[in-house]
Amino acid sequence: MPEKSTKPVIAVSGGGQGIGRGILLYFAERGYDVAIVDVDQDQMAVTAADCEALGAEVLALVCDVTQSNQVDAAYAQLAEHYGRLDVQVNNAGILRRQRIMDSTDEVTQAVIGVNVFGVIHTSRAAMRIMVPQGSGNIITAHSLLGDRMPDAGLGVYSATKAFVASLTRVMAAECAPYGIRVNGYAPSVTDSAMVHHIIEERPVAKLDQISMREFGRPEQVGKICWFLCSDLAEYTTGASIPTDGGSWLVQRPFLPWEAAGKIEPRQR
């Protein structure tokens, strides 16, 4: 492996937009060099320019995470360029709404390809860099829909996120002897292309489900990732941290807001 960069390095799959972009910007502003792993070159270019403006060196890796050969080549390039990898965030994911009885192979394979195989491919590639260096953090993207509350019409998506939660615990155990910690974050409605239509079309209905009564922002996930790979979490591995504003803590999260006089009572 070549001589290591003097600054820590973070790689984020799906880093061109949304939550992945928010994570990269948060770390770039705090002294990290970054590797953007994505398939959309236009979005990568915008995020790369913004990270560079914050003082980060940027490596843009055009890569389809469902293809192990592309992932292996991208991370070989990362290792050659930086000589190290301190944080790997498996953020790339897709959501498709489709009942199981109506499901098509195309949609099912696409969701499993990114959300399951993509996580395996990027995690494995990151481990090949982290194990020899004896340190590192791998962070996976879970979901309220997989960790606690699957939804009708999203059976395949929910199942893939439950898979990632279980995989995270296994990877945490397998990586512990090498000084690598593996944890996850579980967002709910966080402003990104995947869910932006929900925020625009039915904001009140969704806010009624969230105890803090606000939608998440990508940089807030960046803060959770920062915590998970910091010394503050040095004895934490195999965990999933909710980043959902208290979504569905109770059946009707809006009731305390009504009782506090902060919103108008709902008709029930």
Tell me the Ramachandran region of residue 56: left when phi exceeds 0, alpha when psi lies from -120 to 50, beta otherwise: beta
Q: Which of 55, 2, 54, 46 is nearest to 20 (CA)?
A: 46
* Tokens 């260096």, residue located: 133
Sign (positive/negative) of CA torsion 117, 123, 129, 134?
Answer: negative
Alpha helices in 189-240 (DSSP H): 196-201, 203-207, 218-228
Strands 33-38 and 180-187 turn out to be unpaired
Question: 122: Cβ–Cβ under 8 A, 6 or more apart, which residues?
Answer: 11, 13, 37, 65, 71, 75, 88, 90, 92
Both structure tokens of 92:
């790339």
Catalytic residues: 157
